[in-house]
Amino acid sequence: MDTQVTLEDLSPVRKRLQIEVPAAAVQAELDRAYQIVGQQARLRGFRPGKAPRPVLERMFGAEVRREVLGRLVEDSFVRAIERHGLAVVGTPEIDAHDLAPGKALRYSATVDIRPAIELGDVHDITATRPPTAVSDADVDRTLEALRESVAQLRPIEDRTVVEAGDILVVDLTSRLDGGEPVRRDGILLEAGSGTFPLALERQLVGQHRGARLTLHVPYPADYPSAGLAGKSAEFEVEVKELRAKELPLLDDEFARDHGKCDSLAELRARVRRDLEREAGERADDAVREQVLGQLVARHAFDVPSTLVERRTEALIAGLDVRLPEGAERDAALARVREQIAPRAERQVRAELILDAYAQREAIDVTDSEVSAEIDAIATRERQVPERVRAIYEPPTARAALRAKLVRDRALARLLSAARVMPPEAAESVAHEK
């Protein structure tokens, strides 16, 4: 297929291909397709394979042209990007019209490509490791939270006025900016806490059992939930019950019942180990983010919008975002995308730099190492190994896992070469400057 291709640079990471498939190649594909259709079609009045071409064109023409068009575009597009050595990312934007027998096929394909990154200085990277010490107060707070989680609620019978710390059972009807009401019954709220929703519980202190009241709650413009930010809510509240929290004693019995430990001392030691492990993981994450941040700051290049958009959608899918229904949903989702996009772009930039570094340093991962990681994923997530292997059986899924492992290995090498200082050393260096 003597295809003609013209390459147009729209940006360093976006190209447009003008592709022309010769008329002879188009006609040959159409003839072959009609030959196959003629052999398979069963038409009244004609023996198999004997239906005239005009009859086949009248009955199957649209379907044949659509199938041939897809095949010609796919084959010629693959040849075109191979000829020009384009590392295409994402799905191409194809602009092609219907086929015309005896005429050439002309279409355009707009694609995003991976940027050519010229690696600069990846050495002399300095990071500060946050403190990981766990205090007795940290352990106490964790144990107190555990006590709170298993607290028992008893009805308050000796008074009817709501005091701070009471647990209320309320029926709640909410309206956002005068919209449709949403009713929820039997909601538990802690009076005076001011945690859900903003300031609502503080307005309940001093009310009484059986009270019916309307409360107004304004949400600030920077409220985390995009569907509520900058809006005002009205709550109709009926106080149904007052309850008091009864916390269990913090003793050996508590450790056995709720901590699976033989003694309180053993539970405290386990909590401390868990907190130290979590603090260490957070510190490791902070160091990685500092190293990646410096790498991104040192390398300026255009990023394919396709990759950023794809990462933005993936990040949104992993968030617990409550969006309004109806006409406001699209606007709220657009605001979430706008908030998430910078983070998505930074992640994509960091991964592209790690890919370039891995290529320069010839960092690779073998098939056996990919298989070992799949089994490790099954172990970590307590899944049946065969089920996890099936997830990574498609070549695209396996390639994505391999790319992640290569980046992890590249980042590990950069981390090992970085100068990681404890907080006190970093402060000393800052004072010296």
Is residue 36 over pLDDT 80? Answer: yes
Give the sign of the dihedral formed by CA 162, CA 217, CA 330, CA 328.
positive
User: Under DSSP, is residue 52 helix (H, G, I), strand (E, B) or coil?
Assistant: coil
Provide the whole-model pTM.
Answer: 0.75
What domains appear along the chain, each with residue ranges and CATH number?
4-113 (3.30.70.1050), 152-246 (3.10.50.40), 254-432 (1.10.3120)
Q: pLDDT tens, 223-237?
A: 766 667 778 888 889
Whole-number pLDDT of residue 272 = 97
% of the chain residues with pLDDT over 70: 94
Which pair of structure tokens corresponds to residue 166? 């009471």
Give the sign of the dihedral formed by CA 378, CA 381, CA 382, CA 384.
negative
How many other CB atoms sit within 10 Å of the CB of residue 134?
19
Which three-class secondary structure string do you get for 328-365?
Answer: HHHHHHHHHHHHHHHHHHHHHHHHHHHHHHHHHCCCCC
pLDDT band at 424 (very low <50, low <70, confident <90, very high): low
pLDDT band at 203 (very low <50, low <70, confident <90, very high): confident
- The beta-carbon contacts of 132-140 under 8 Å, at least 24 apart in sequence, are 132/276, 132/279, 132/280, 132/282, 132/283, 133/279, 134/272, 134/275, 134/276, 134/279, 138/275, 139/268, 139/271, 139/272, 139/275
Q: pLDDT tens, 268-327?
A: 999 999 999 999 999 999 999 999 999 999 999 999 999 999 999 999 988 877 776 666
pLDDT band at 175 (very low <50, low <70, confident <90, very high): confident
Q: Which of 17-31, 205-219, 226-240, 351-365 has the lowest mean pLDDT?
A: 226-240
Mean pLDDT estimate for the chain? 88
pLDDT band at 341 (very low <50, low <70, confident <90, very high): very high
Whole-number pLDDT of residue 425 = 60
Taking each helix axis as running N to C, give the angle between helix 252-259 and helix 264-298, from 0 to 180 degrees, rounded to the nearest 10.
50
Q: Which of 17, 169, 31 is nearest to 79 (CA)?
A: 17
What percent helix, strand, coil does the chain show, rounded to 5? 50, 20, 30
Is residue 196 over pLDDT 60? Answer: no
Is residue 128 over pLDDT 90? Answer: yes
Which pair of structure tokens corresponds to residue 223? 């409220």
27-38 average pLDDT score? 88
Is residue 127 over pLDDT 90? Answer: yes
DSSP state, residue 204: G
253-257 average pLDDT score? 94
Q: Are 211 and 170 in contact (CB under 8 A)?
A: no
78-95 average pLDDT score? 92
424-433 average pLDDT score? 53
71-79 average pLDDT score? 94
- Alpha-carbon distance of 254 to 103, in angstroms, equals 83
Whole-number pLDDT of residue 261 = 94
Is residue 260 over pLDDT 70? Answer: yes
Whole-number pLDDT of residue 1 = 60
- Alpha-carbon distance of 425 to 427, in angstroms, equals 5
Is residue 51 over pLDDT 60? Answer: yes
Q: Which residues contact 244 (CB under 8 A, 6 or more apart)?
A: 153, 154, 156, 165, 166, 167
> For residue 126, how far is the Cα from the chain centroid?
29
The CA radius of gyration of the chain, in Å to the nearest whole number, is: 32
Which pair of structure tokens corresponds to residue 356? 């370039």
Is residue 191 over pLDDT 60? Answer: yes
